Structure 1
Amino acid sequence: MTPQDMEVRIVRYGDLKPCKTAFIDAHTPGSDQKENFTIIGGGVSESPDQHVHITTPHGFNIGAAGQPPKCRNSLHDHRTAEVFFVLSGRWRFFWGRWGDAGEVTLEPGDIFNIPTGIFRGFENIGTDYGMIMAILGGNDAGGGVMWAPQVIEDAADHGLILAETGKLYDTKKGEALPDGVKPMPLLTAEELALRPEPTTADVLPNHVARYLDMMAYSDKSPCKVIGETGLLKDKPGFEVDFISRASASDQMHSHDKPSVLMPVKGHWRVDWDGGTTTLAPGDTMSIPEGLSHRATPSMTGEAALYHIIATDDPAGLTWTGH
């Protein structure tokens, strides 16, 4: 495969195209400065303005959220797995019907396999603009986002209405729901009562992995982070490996499914049959199935990257109640 062919499968951090109207809380004070990025797959954006960088199906979606300090993403849920790792900044993740059931703070390189079936949100609590990278299960990411009722109500107060079709309408621009289209219904009290409210102690041991721990675990071989035998044991429809300088191999290899490389520290040289390139933190590279390749650090210093590949497991619920 030529370098020109591969270039369309590489999304550089500096080339990411943000959408500031991706979701229903785009006008809500405190959430109106966030930027959403859809890197691989259609994602779950509710806006026609969302740019998709790579449309090739991978069995999962890759996206990102960029937010200035004190900006938050409102309480929501997905029907498939949602995994975040911190690229930059300091982030507080919180969950539950009102966002007060539990919380955890993540630093660069940390990863969180957020349990489905509970509302979750996050905010940048650092002092600079921060970025978190996201993996969503399934090619269609489960068909959209489910919002806590108060998020939909607050959004309507600031001009945004979400239709039952999943499309946003901005009354500040003179838009209105089309004839015959109803607003997205709020979850009922009975539906809300069925949602678990796990505490921080319930969630952390099985759903959060720390960067420094993964560096230690990957001293001889790549660390399986998410998978049936991973640090975070789960089968969400994809596996995530953590590779450090110590565990990077110079052996060429291939996979029977498309895979994705996402550096979090250092610069990485990627060689394949037909070319070579260098990736930096924030870059995303899709490797076609069957293509022989390898990834190795290209400079001295700390180096780590995440490797994602789909599995044949259904991209279903991940919360197991422990």
Structure 2
Amino acid sequence: MTPEEMETRIVRYGDLKPCRTAFIDAHTPGSDQKENFTIIGGGVSESPDQHVHIKDTPGFNIGAAGQPPKCRNSLHSHTTAEVFYVLKGRWRFFWGRWGTAGEVVLEEGDIFNIPTGIFRGFENIGTDYGMIMAILGGDDAGGGVIWAPQVIEDAKDHGLVLGKNGVLYDTKKGQTLPDSVPPMPLLSDEDLKGFPEPGNVDVVKDHVARYWDMMALAANAPCKVIGETALLKDKPGFDVEFLTRGSIPETPYRLDRHEILMIMRGHWKITWGGGENTLAPGDTCAVPPGLEHSLVPSMSGEASLYRVTNTDDPAGPTWKN
């Protein structure tokens, strides 16, 4: 693999292309300044305007959300995994039918494996533009988003209508639902009974890992963050590890799995038989299966990254009532 070929497998933070009309709440006050990024795979965007950086999926999707202070993402649910870690800023995650069942605040580097099947939302509570990186279960992550009824109703009042086909139509641009496409139906009261309302204790202890705890645990070996035997025990169709300066392999290695490197802090040099490249914070690198390579921080100071690999576990609901 040449350096040029490897570069096509790297999505640079500075090259990310946002979509500002990705979801049904794109015009709703308080949520109308969101930027959605689809890095690997189609993601969950409902807009044809969404740019996809790397289309081939490794069994999961990688995306990101950027928001200014006080901007929030509206309540929705997923049938497959939705994992976030904070790249920049300070974020509040909340959940439940009305977003009042529980909440947790995440700082930079913290990770949250949100239980499937519950309504969740998030907002930037920091003082600057913030960015969270996302790992979404399955090849087709777009098929598993369910909006709380009030989100669909509010959006309609501001010009956006979601069709049952999962596509957004913007009446402000003169768009209307095709005759053959009915609007997305609202969940009934009976439907809503199927969505759990777990409290803080039930969610945080089993689904949140803190950056500095992982830094300590990864002092001598990779810290297993999400997986069957990890800190956050789950089988969402992928494993997540946390690596720092002391936990990288001492010799070149290869995996028989897709390996996605997501840089948190510091600059990292990836070297393989055909060359080398440097990865910076916010960069995402898709290493193909079977490629022998080495990975080292390229300068002194704090260095950390998340490594995501596909597993044979099927993507699907993981929340246990």
Match of 1:169 in 2: 169
Match of 1:17 in 2: 17
CA deviation profile, 1:251-302 (whole Å, cap 9, x unmatched) = 1111112210011011111112211111111000000111111211111101
Match of 2:197 in 1: 197
Match of 1:109 in 2: 109
Q: Distance in 2 between matches of 1:22 and 1:256?
A: 34
Is 1:279 equivalent to 2:279 in the alignment? yes
> Which AA in structure 2 matches 1:82?
E
Is 1:302 equivalent to 2:305 in the alignment? no
Secondary structure of 1:213 counterpart: helix
CA contact (8 A) 2:80 2:144 kept: no
Of 264-273 and 162-171, deviating more is 264-273
Secondary structure of 1:294 counterpart: strand
Match of 1:83 in 2: 83
- How many Å apart are 1:57 and its aligned residue? 2.0
Match of 1:94 in 2: 94
Match of 1:132 in 2: 132
Secondary structure of 2:27 counterpart: coil
CA contact (8 A) 2:43 2:142 kept: no
Match of 2:313 in 1: 313
Is 1:121 equivalent to 2:160 in the alignment? no
Match of 2:39 in 1: 39
Q: Distance in 1 between matches of 2:285 and 2:264?
A: 13
CA contact (8 A) 2:42 2:142 kept: no
- How many Å apart are 1:307 and its aligned residue? 0.2
Unaligned runs of 5+ in 2: none
Of 242-251 and 81-90, deviating more is 242-251
Secondary structure of 1:202 counterpart: helix
CA contact (8 A) 1:64 1:132 kept: yes
CA contact (8 A) 1:45 1:144 kept: no
Q: Distance in 1 between matches of 2:131 and 2:138?
A: 23
> Which AA in structure 2 matches 1:276?
E
Secondary structure of 1:150 counterpart: helix
Q: Distance in 2 between matches of 1:2 and 1:77?
A: 41
Match of 1:150 in 2: 150
Match of 1:246 in 2: 246
Q: Distance in 2 between matches of 1:240 and 1:57?
A: 16
> Which AA in structure 2 matches 1:230?
A
Q: TM-score, normalised by structure 2?
A: 0.99
Secondary structure of 1:143 counterpart: helix
Q: Distance in 2 between matches of 1:157 and 1:138?
A: 32
CA deviation profile, 1:104-145 (whole Å, cap 9, x unmatched) = 000000000000110000000000000000000011116141
Of 266-275 and 41-50, deviating more is 266-275
Q: Distance in 1 between matches of 2:258 and 2:42?
A: 16
Runs of 4+ in 1 over 2 A off after TM superposition: none
Q: Distance in 2 between matches of 1:72 and 1:58?
A: 29
Match of 1:7 in 2: 7
Is 1:217 equivalent to 2:217 in the alignment? yes
Q: Distance in 2 between matches of 1:29 and 1:156?
A: 12
Match of 2:291 in 1: 291
Q: Distance in 2 between matches of 1:228 and 1:273?
A: 33
Unaligned runs of 5+ in 1: none
Match of 2:56 in 1: 56
Q: Distance in 2 between matches of 1:248 and 1:291?
A: 16
Match of 1:258 in 2: 258
Aligned length: 321
Q: Distance in 1 between matches of 2:70 and 2:239?
A: 32
Q: Distance in 2 between matches of 1:142 and 1:88?
A: 25
